[in-house]
Structures are given as C-alpha cells and as structure tokens.
Amino acid sequence: MRTLFRHLFPALLCTVILSGCAAVRTEFYREETKFLYETGCQSYKQGDYAEANRFFQQVIDLDPQYGPAHAGLGNLAMIDEDYQQAFVFYKQAITCDPELEDDLLPLLLSSDTHRQREPLVKAGVSLVDIYRLFMAEDIVRAESMLGRDLPLELLAADAISITPGQLGELRHRSAELARHHTLPSRVKLLVAYILFHAESEHQLIVELLSSLAQDDDDQQNRREAFILLGRAMEHIGRKNSAVDAYLAAVEEGASLSAVAHYLARLYRVDIASVIPNPPVQVRAVPPEPDTIELIPIAPVSIPDLRSPGQVGQIGGLPVVTQETQENDPE
C-alpha cells in the first residue's frame, strides 16, 4: 500500500498544481480582459476612437463572449454611421450577455432604422424633400426623384427626416394633388403609400390604385399597386376584393411568398399552408438496356489436312497435300 501511494503521490501532486495554475491563468485572463475593456472605455470617452476600437478588439480576441466589448464596437460603428455593422455588434452583444438587452435595445432599434433607410440615403431622397416639392406642386421634379428602384413605401414611412407638423401638411397636400391633378405613376403610387400610412382617405386610395393597376404599362408598378390595393381593401373590410388583388399581383409576377402572410391573415391559417410545396422531381427510371439475342451457329467441320491423298477445302478453296504435290506432273 505504501509503495502504491509512493507512486501515486507525484501524479496527484502534479494534478493539484496544474489545477491551481489553471485557476490562476483563468483569473489572469479575466483581469486582463477587464483592464483592456476599461482602457478602451477610457479612450472612447476621450474621443480616441481608433485606440478604443483596438482595445475592444483585443478583449474579443481573448474572450469572444465578452458582451460589453461587442457593445463598445457597436457604439463606434454608430459614430461612423456604419449602421449595418452597428446592428450586428449590438445583436452579438445581447447574445453574449442578455443582461445588456435593456440598455442596448434602443440603440439596436435605432441602428436597424438607419440600416433600413440606407437605400434612401444612397439615393439622396428623404420625405422632407418630397414635402417641399408637393407643397410647391412641383410634380415634375418629384417624379424625377422617384427612381424605379427606390422603395416608395420606405420613403412614405420615413418619419425621421420630417417633423410631425410637416407630415400632417404633406398628407393633406397629397390628397389634394390626387383629386385635382393627373399624377405620374410613381408619384401616384407614393401618394397612395402616404395616405395609406395616414390611415385616411381609403376610398381615394382605392381609386388611385385601381386606375394605376389597370392602366400602367410598367409591370413592377402594377404589381406593387395590386399588393397595396389588397392591403387597402383588407383595411376597409372588403376581404374578397383583397384576395383578388393579391392574386392579381401574383399573376403580374409577384412571388406567392410576397403575399403569403396577407393571405394567411385573411384565411386565418398558417403562412406555410399558403405557399405550395415545391414540386418533387421524380428521377426517371432508365430504360432497359437493349438485349442482344445470340443465335447459335452450327460448327463448321474442317477436314484434317494431314490425311494423305486428300484434297480438303477451307472456305471453298482447294488445299493440296504433300502427296498430291509429288504426283502432280510438271
């Protein structure tokens, strides 16, 4: 027993020492990450954003699950107006440390709002620009700003760039323009979106969209008009007309998934039940290989050429033996 203990004691001692070293090492990393994070926060408060970014990155390299460091990078991205990256950092911070959600949720929503506005920022168009042009009744310039790829519903809901008073005036002027002017297709569609989000002038919205869906030559405008028409019909309780409008949008080229949630709400079913399952491609059975019928052939008898005095035939040709050659006269 003593001999066994004498052999096991060094191993047990090494295990205890290594365990203690691991605890010390863990505590060291914890203190180092805390020090780097606090140094990064200090640089951030002093306005040295490059240095703060470097310290926060070092913290994440040591501990990828350190939520506050991700939040710090999100703040730096917001300062640089990189809203897409800020949104990613804030989400990662909440994932790593759910206790940060209450503090970061307003920043997360703000970054997401700015992230969604990115198409408007790139196009250089805001709702306050439309407000000025509509108030001046400058329809031509308004139409020139509404490019084909500009998301009109996003523009109509762009409340960040406009005051509540201006927004109310814009909605009132939009209704006046729709009643007393012949509007171009894109302007008409924008007016319909503005009035739809105001939840007013429902009959006027239906008239605008019905004429646009029937008379416009651009399929994209017709498709968008039918979808908004369906939403307007649903809003005023005309559910059957709403279904017809959504299905008309699909006939104009809209994907069924684009209107599936509207149809699911009308029919009170799951969205997945509206979207048909993709067709299952059954692999065709390969044809049977061509069979080759073997016809038995009777064996050909070949005479023994070594028999003296005999003339055999191979393929109809005479074969002369040695004996016939000796008796053959010259």
Q: How confident is the model at residue 275 (pLDDT cuts 50, 70, 90)?
A: low
Q: What is the CA radius of gyration of the chain?
A: 42
Categorize the per-residue pLDDT at 37 as very low, low, confident or very high, splitting at 50, 70 and 90: very high
In the predicted structure, residue 78 carries a pLDDT above the cut 60: yes
Indicate the average pLDDT of the chain.
79
Question: What is the CATH architecture assignment of 123-273?
Answer: Alpha Horseshoe (1.25)
Q: Which two tokens stand for residue 262?
A: 């509207």
Whether the predicted pLDDT of 11 surpasses 80: no
Tokens of 157: 């809901």
13-120 and 123-273 share one CATH topology? yes
Specify the higher pLDDT residue, 86 or 305.
Answer: 86
Q: Where are the domains of the chain?
A: 13-120, 123-273
In sequence order, what are the residues at sequence separation of 6 or more whose Cβ sits closer than 8 angstroms to the Cβ of residue 187? 139, 142, 143, 146, 177
CATH H-level, domain 13-120: superfamily: Tetratricopeptide repeat domain (1.25.40.10)
What does the buried/exposed string (b/e) look like for 57-93 if buried means 16 or more CB atoms within 10 Å of the residue's CB? ebbbeebeebbbbbbbbbbbbbeeebbebbbbbbbbb
Per-residue pLDDT tens for 187-238? Answer: 999 999 999 988 888 889 999 999 888 888 889 999 999 999 999 999 888 9
